[in-house]
Structure 1
Amino acid sequence: MVVVDPAAAAELAREALPSYGFAADAELRLLKHRENVVFATTHGDREYVVRVHRSGYRSDAELDCELDFVQALRGEGVAVPTFLRTDDGRAFCRVGAEHPAGIHQVDVQDLLVNTGNFGDERTAVDGTADLPAEDFFELGRLAAELHAATERSGYLPSVPRGDWDLEGLVGAEPAWGDPLRMAELVGDDRAAVEAAIARIREDLERYGRPVGRFGPIHADLTPENVLRTPAGLVLIDFDDFAAGWHLFDLATAIYFFTPHPRAAEYRAALFAGYESVRPLTPADHEAFPAILLARGLTYLGWAADRRGESTAEWHATTVLPYVVRLSRELVA
């Protein structure tokens, strides 16, 4: 998987613009350069987002499935982006056949008027994020609306997308890589994580996957993927959506706030918001620590395969101790 530099991404985006009836020389303003490269542009009197997907991350069928899922959620009233169709009705276009960077997928969506993201991972971990508990209540409510919408609609992914199930989280080949490959995990810390992985398997096998606990989820509900808008919070970036435990979305929403001084308050508000739409059972609360740790382990697996990148090094040096702490707590 390759993320192109912004200059090359802008060239690819310009190649896609005419497919949406936009001028190829329209101004592009860089919004984000991470896994995908995202630009803002203007057409007529409206603002749009142009997203250049990282090469090789999703097949055309998988991306079609992702955008179909977002459309289904929007049809059920969930606060998600609105995607445009190309002039010939496609959900995205493929460009770059003659570009040095090669073929890339590009989609276009309405630009959401927002006052910024819900927060960011680093200020959540270092404790400087100053968010009202009401924000977490609203986020919990929105996550519950997403899960309720998938149940009402009966939506199922049209193609396999690598489920966030037991094997995807803590199997022999986890979806995001093996956390035990982190060189910093040695001695008693490594033993604690290994014991916790075994405990996760026990807890989640017992928890099971009955209706109401497992189904299509966002799967990447980090602070960066929640926007504040005049109409309320909106979920963006469904790159990693697939079937998983509903609790996984709650775990992702609160995971980076685990070290925060207000972590208990934020978690209580998140759960209260969720339960204002969908009730949780004692079994849900009992399973949550295992799913929270499983979420943390996915990030270590991700970082283990990207050593040298700034975010991977941050996970290795700053976040890893909290994963070890959660491991010890789970098996205590």
Structure 2
Amino acid sequence: MSIPSTESWGKSVQKFNKVANCAILLFFTDDQPTVKLLDYSENATYLVESRITGQKNILRVCRPDYHKKSQIESELAWMRAIDQQSPIEVPVPVSGTNGEYVQSVKLENDPREYHCTMFTFLEGQAPDENNEQELIHQFEILGEITAHLHNHSQNWQEAQTLDREPWDYETILGENPKWGRWQDGVAITPERKKLFQEVSEVIKRRLEKFGKGPDRFGLIHADLRLANLLVEDNKIKVIDFDDCGFGWYLFDLGAALSFIEHKPYVPELVKAWVKGYRKVRPLSEEEEQEIPTFIMLRRLMLISWIGSRDNETAREMGSGYTEATDALAKDYLAKFR
């Protein structure tokens, strides 16, 4: 569910800022830290810095009505397990003064409840999509990291008990998808609608054939795009597990290519990712051949997201993203129709 269209981007940010200033009092008692907005997309994230020690943390104010408290608690449980049981570096959840990891805030004259979480701060910068050679190298590392993540997901016994929603065809491209319908996206003409509909139908058939076996479908990050990776000294750290849920493992590769699927260097990124992944975890030839399906699945999903959101990323992508999908759609149909 998106923030209501009747509420402007600016007013939404003002409201989140008020929530953030209330939330820090639930995590700190004797220290009034500074609070700076870092990003506003699905949620609002803030850099919180102690005036006394200089220690940094990340505060996330969750978009109301998107996840239940129990779902957020499940997300944080997986992050803690990854931190303790795998080589992947992730932010560690920080509990509030009452010992709870999820704190709730309500504002005056606003019936909605805002769930807030705190994390340790990680150093690093997002990969640069304009640095092709560096990005290819980083995708090999990302392939290894993703394989470790999938191994942990498959071997962690508590995974199946988590309260997280599925990311499958129905929830992504079905009749009532979580991020809205691609048919309601920006710049959807009758001709484009017909083209994308055929792509969607091919995706559905291929995913049904591909199946949801335990080696292919499980708990995934589901949003490993460049903005959710931090690079420091040839090491990649993973942040923002807000959309983690149960989906195809290869969807994590489709998500890693978010917003750059049409770039000419993508085949090299995929090749590097597969190479890195196979260093850690098996990937069959059949799975490798199906990668374009997951790239297209994510691409149509992002058209839905852009059409249903009011934030800087959605505005930046706009109609150009939909228009650039035409060539990808035609190429996909030529190969898989």
Counterpart position of 1:331:
333
Of 297-306 and 243-252, deviating more is 297-306
Find 2:103's aligned residue among 93, 113, 130.
93
Counterpart position of 1:111:
121
The answer as to whether partners of 1:182 and 1:304 remain within 8 angstroms in 2 is yes
Counterpart position of 2:280:
277
Q: Which amino acid aligns with 1:76?
A: Q
Find 2:176's aligned residue among 173, 176, 186.
173
The answer as to whether partners of 2:91 and 2:239 remain within 8 angstroms in 1 is yes
The answer as to whether partners of 2:216 and 2:250 remain within 8 angstroms in 1 is yes
Counterpart position of 1:41:
48
Where 1:51 maps in the other structure, the secondary structure is strand
The answer as to whether partners of 2:186 and 2:319 remain within 8 angstroms in 1 is no
Cα distance in 1, alignment partners of residues 258 and 18 from structure 2:
37
Cα distance in 1, alignment partners of residues 242 and 283 from structure 2:
27
Decide whether aligned partners of structure 1 residues 197 and 61 sit closer, same or farther in structure 2, where only a CA change above 3 A counts: same
Q: Which amino acid aligns with 1:320?
A: T
Counterpart position of 1:30:
37
Equivalences for residues 64-213 of structure 1 within 5 A = 64-77=73-86, 78-98=88-108, 100=110, 102-114=112-124, 116-119=125-128, 124=129, 128-132=130-134, 133-156=136-159, 158=161, 160-182=163-185, 184-213=187-216
Cα distance in 2, alignment partners of residues 14 and 310 from structure 1:
23
Unaligned runs of 5+ in 1: none
Where 2:93 maps in the other structure, the secondary structure is coil
**In the alignment, structure 1 residue 59 sits paired with structure 2 residue 62:** no
Q: Which amino acid aligns with 1:317?
A: S
Give, in angstroms, the shift of residue 249 of structure 1: 0.3
**In the alignment, structure 1 residue 16 sits paired with structure 2 residue 19:** no
Cα distance in 2, alignment partners of residues 108 and 248 from structure 1:
27
Q: What is the CA RMSD across the aligned residues, in angstroms?
A: 2.4
Give, in angstroms, the shift of residue 182 of structure 1: 3.2
Q: Structure 2 length as normaliser, TM-score?
A: 0.87
Cα distance in 2, alignment partners of residues 104 and 24 from structure 1:
22
Q: Which amino acid aligns with 2:142?
A: L
**In the alignment, structure 1 residue 216 sits paired with structure 2 residue 223:** no
Cα distance in 2, alignment partners of residues 88 and 309 from structure 1:
33
Give, in angstroms, the shift of residue 207 of structure 1: 0.5
Percent of residue pairs identical: 24
Give, in angstroms, the shift of residue 291 of structure 1: 1.4
Give, in angstroms, the shift of residue 156 of structure 1: 2.1
Of 243-252 and 170-179, deviating more is 170-179
Give, in angstroms, the shift of residue 35 of structure 1: 2.3
Q: 1:238-292: per-residue Cα shift (whole Å, max 9, x none)?
A: 1111000000001111243333232222221111111111121122022211111
Cα distance in 2, alignment partners of residues 192 and 29 from structure 1:
43
Q: Structure 1 length as normaliser, TM-score?
A: 0.88
How many residue pairs are counted as aligned between the two chains?
323
The answer as to whether partners of 1:143 and 1:274 remain within 8 angstroms in 2 is yes
**In the alignment, structure 1 residue 322 sits paired with structure 2 residue 329:** no
Of 215-224 and 43-52, deviating more is 43-52
Decide whether aligned partners of structure 1 residues 157 and 61 sit closer, same or farther in structure 2, where only a CA change above 3 A counts: farther
Cα distance in 1, alignment partners of residues 228 and 322 from structure 2:
22
Find 1:312's aligned residue among 297, 311, 314.
314
Where 2:37 maps in the other structure, the secondary structure is strand
The answer as to whether partners of 1:300 and 1:315 remain within 8 angstroms in 2 is no
Give, in angstroms, the shift of residue 320 of structure 1: 1.4
Q: 1:214-261: per-residue Cα shift (whole Å, max 9, x none)?
A: 000011111101012357211111111100000000111124333323
Q: Which amino acid aligns with 1:112?
A: L
Where 1:28 maps in the other structure, the secondary structure is strand
Unaligned runs of 5+ in 2: 4-8
Give, in angstroms, the shift of residue 297 of structure 1: 0.7
